[in-house]
Every structure is written in C-alpha cells, then in structure tokens.
Amino acid sequence: MRTILLLAALIGIFGLNSASFASEKWPGVDEAVVEKVASEHGHASRPPLIDTDQGDLLLFAFLLAGAVAGFAGGYYWRMLVAERKER
C-alpha cells in the first residue's frame, strides 16, 4: 500500500510539472487553425459578445441551466416515468 502511495506521489510531483502544460508547446485548435485561416482571409479576431471568462459567470450559467432542467425534470417526472396515459 505504501508503495502505491509513494508511486502516486512521485507521479504527481514529477509528472504534472508546469513544463508539460506549456501553452507555447501545444497550441489549441483556435490558435493553430481558426485564427490562422481567418488572418489569411483578412478577418481579425473580435471579443466575444458575452465574456464568460471573467468571474463566475460561466459557473452561474451552468447553475441556472441545471436548476431549470432539474425543475422541469422534477415537474414532469410522473409523466415521464411512472404514469402512462392509455390512448
């Protein structure tokens, strides 16, 4: 058991260093493909209409969507699962 924990700790320390997550090393699809093709055709990048990168706006949006879906699923639960009307 100690060997497994030691191995997991070593992998965590040496395997997850910041060099393996360098953004210069592995650019995303947006930078590597989309922005390159857009700049070749003369289109500049624009800021998004709704900036979800600031604060917890994206988290709040998912919370709100989950609450609405949970309410709808709970409200129609009997109709969806338990009670079936004969036609």
The pLDDT assigned to 48 comes to 78
User: Which residue carries 């009307």 as its tokens?
Assistant: 85
Tokens of 57: 């706006």
Question: Whole-structure pTM over 0.85, yes or no?
Answer: no
Regions of the chain short of the pLDDT cut 70: 14-24, 83-87
Spans of all domains in the chain:
1-46, 51-87
Nearest CA-CA partner of 45 in 61, 60, 34, 54: 34
